[in-house]
Amino acid sequence: MQAIFDTLINSFIENEVGIANHFLNDELASFLKQNLQLLYKTEQLLFAGTGNNKLVTHDKTTRSDKIFWLDAKHENIHENSFFKLLDSFIIYLNATCYTGITGYEFHYTLYEEGSFYKKHIDRFKNNSSRAYSMIMYLNENWQPSHGGELCIHHNNQLQNISPNNGKCVFFKSNNLLHEVLLTHKPRLSITGWLKRD
């Protein structure tokens, strides 16, 4: 995995946005996708909001995805494998880049057909603990016609990233506007943040 970690980190250093294909191997991505699909089928996903704690709002004209938080207490073997991968990445990231990451939070994300998330920054105004954003995609055979790209707003250009299976995207949570463009097909991912106390 070190080569994949290096690809993610080096591309982040070069372009503010790290991208690594196959961060999730096909087997783990498949199991996590099955978990997400079961949660959706059993109506355990909830519409996501913006803001945190008492400041959270739900406005489907801004954000229309559904989520379910991952938690080690679920004792799900595949989620635990995901956590082990994250732990390995954080150890490597802290050792090579001195980032001081001490924790993380992640949720499953599903954009139904016709869903989107307008331009936003990931760090809360009243809480600076989110240091880096990470998104890992669970979409096999994704085509350009399906839409749903992650659109990063750099100072002088837009960068559209397709949500292909196993791909990981990594960037600072406090300084890049980004959005999820309208999707024409259900779009699945695991989204979260590496945090500092």
Q: Which class would CATH give 2-45+63-195?
A: mainly beta
pTM of the model: 0.92
pLDDT over 70 at 60, yes or no: yes
164 in Cβ contact with 130 (< 8 Å):
no
First-to-last alpha carbon distance for the chain, in angstroms, is: 27
List the domain boundaries for the chain.
Answer: 2-45+63-195
Tell me the mean pLDDT in the region 75-79: 95
Q: Strand 66-69 to strand 18-20: parallel, antiparallel, or no bridges (unpaired)?
A: unpaired
Tell me the mean pLDDT in the region 113-137: 88
103 in Cβ contact with 195 (< 8 Å):
yes
Give the Cα separation of 78 and 108 in Å (integer).
13
The least confident of 47-61, 64-78, 104-118 is 47-61
pLDDT for the residue numbered 50:
61
- Percentage with pLDDT > 90 across the chain: 83
The least confident of 33-42, 44-53, 161-170 is 44-53
